[in-house]
A and B are shown apart, each in its own frame.
Chain A
Amino acid sequence: MSAAPDEAVGAAIDTVNAGRRYGNFWALRHCTLALPPGSITAVVGPNGAGKTTLLNMLVGLLPTSEGQLRVVDEEPSSKPEFLAHVGFLAQDYPLYKEFKVADLLRFGKAMNPSWDDALARQRLAAAEVPLDRRAGRLSGGQRAQVALALAVAKRPRVLLLDEPLAALDPLARREFLKTLLDSAAATGITVVLSSHLVGELARVCDHLVVIRDGRLRLAGELDRLLGEHHWVTGSPQDTQRMPTGVEVLTESHHERHSRLLVRTNEPLLNPALTVGPVDLEELVLAYLERPAADVPAGLKEVGTR
């Protein structure tokens, strides 16, 4: 499913030119996105790119300095009616350290009218998190599981996760993503997670947002983005003459051959060129390394207005 402009109306998350400024510094600017309901979106970028700013604005912790945000057709705020629709897992999974896990469940129940206690307990049992242990004594992976259980058990329509994988070892990462996918598949909620790690995301995400220095570099449906980008290898003469409509993202030239990363909607028919697929990590790196463009690539596909 591609997020064409007409679909943006029903988008679970819809931002138009949203930005946040700290003094003279724009942490995020010109952010226009439309993410369909049920999608799982990875927001990828280096530390300080603006990922946390975007998520904090979406959950209503941070007001916008310009532009508009809509999350499940509501403006993010600190109103209980809005917060009930959004599950949020903050960076480093903050939990009350002196609370036992069972206390945290009671906290979730007390603070959320739509709380699904059975779901929370089932998730924690599956992750083998002991309910009588204090949160401060849990491992990083267990804390992440508890924080996720708290965010999911309030039965949100949108789940926002800020760097959920950063503090986890590879095994815990896999466990966490499995739990996340199970929850998302079972409930059909829209998920947005930010990460500076790209590797694990290919298996879980269907949408990708690349962000750096507060600007979107690339945004769109993952399969479509991967289908549009190709590695092209050939002699320097052949690779210099690309048909119109082919955008060259990176190029490296050697004596005998050149290697290009290109974006195109048309098939490349020149038999002198070798065309190969690109993987997620290469795609993200290519866009992160590119100098900032005024209009991020892929915006046409993601509901520019």
Chain B
Amino acid sequence: MIWTTWRQHRAELTVGAFIVAAIGAAMIVVGNTARSRANGLSLPACMRARRDCSAALESLHRDFHSIPPFTGALVAIPLLAGMFWAAPIISREYEAGTHRLAWTQSISPLRWITVKIALIFSAIAAAALLLGLLATWTLDPLTAAFGGRYNSTWYDVQGLVPVACILVALAVGVAASAIIRRTIPAMAVTLVVYAALRIPIHWIRWRFAPLASHTFAVALTDVSRMPEGSPQDLVPAVASTDWVHGVTVTDAAGHALPTGNGNLSILQHYCPKLQEIRAPGSGTGASSGTTTEIHFQNMDACRATVNNLSIREKLSYQPASHFWFMQTVESALFLVVVGLLVAATLYAVTRRRPT
């Protein structure tokens, strides 16, 4: 059965090995280049000393701006593997009638599909783990310059999540293949189901670890300096590698303040007369409309009122240190899905249906 699996899938396995080798080589080159460039900019020393490293970070960002499209393309690999490798695995047998050949040898269909899934899934998982850990190493020196590892494509290509992604894509493909028994519809279903499983995870991922929070006082005068901005602009710098989830604003008594319209909402809470007005001349409808500046009536009066009031901002965020924990949670969640899909596959194959 091991030989049969190899003989049936050696083309895919060979192509897959070449792809892994090519991506791996590219990652090693990028990782080495990025390291020497960051060292050349003295970035690690600067970060350790907690100085302002923005010049070095910007330089690094400029030099490696082509990396995010590259990592973005990697995110498509699990989907392609699911559609073009997993989805035909069983349906191709039904379409060619070879299931009648395979399942009338002295081997049960259960063993046939179990060995096949076990071998292919382990080979792919090993390759994905290798590339995922390699990507972690490659992207590490660039992390600070590109806003951290929680960025969705960078999160999906690093650590353990690539293994979970490709296994779930393969499991969706194999299950669709076993249940639908026709290749093209199984590929279409794989596309839709994989997207439906992977896309929403980006909206709920922040829940996978308890949020850290940071509370601090902000003078209302600071708010009034930038009435058009958002409360988040007033937050003292969090590390660029943290993932800010949200900011809540409370008054001195601890009551939440409205922030629907940014800082202006907070000011209007204290100064009901504060109003947004257009600069003179803009109301004529002339072509100068594009250069309209926003002015605020009664802003000076408002400033006088709120001078001594202070508000508190509570910042919730996923610190960079939660990365591995969140990756583990997400991977475990997807491995459960993989288990369910594999069980569905085994059920569909062994339940003898009209052939």
Contacts and interface: CB of A to CB of B under 8 A. Distances in A.
A22 to B, nearest CB: 6
Contacts of B96: 94, 96-97
A166 interface: no
B198 interface: no
B354 A62 contact: yes
A103 B101 CA distance: 14
Contact of B98 (A84, A96, A154): A96
A92 B100 CA distance: 11
B106 interface: yes
B48 interface: no
A111 interface: yes
Given A78-B109, A91-B97, A95-B98, A59 B8 contact: no
B3 A56 contact: no
B101 A84 contact: no
A110 B101 contact: no
A61 interface: yes
Given A99-B7, A107-B4, A90 B352 contact: no
Given A99-B7, A106-B3, A111 B105 contact: yes
B355 interface: yes
Interface size on A, as a range, is 35 or more
B91 to A, nearest CB: 14
B3 A78 contact: no
A96 B355 CA distance: 18
Contacts of B308: none
A113 interface: yes
B275 interface: no
B107 A90 contact: no
A94 B97 contact: yes
B108 interface: yes
Nearest to A52: B355
A83 B106 contact: yes
Contact of B4 (A83, A90, A110): A110
Contacts of B105: 83, 107-108, 111-112, 154
Interface in A5-60: 22, 56, 59-60
In the complex, the 3 A-B pairs of residues with the closest C-beta atoms, listed nearest first: A111-B105, A94-B97, A90-B100
Interface of B: 1, 3-4, 7-8, 96-98, 100-111, 350, 352, 354-355
Given A83-B108, A108-B105, 17 more contacts: A22-B354, A56-B355, A61-B355, A62-B354, A62-B355, A78-B103, A78-B110, A83-B104, A88-B100, A90-B100, A90-B104, A92-B97, A106-B3, A107-B7, A110-B3, A110-B4, A112-B107
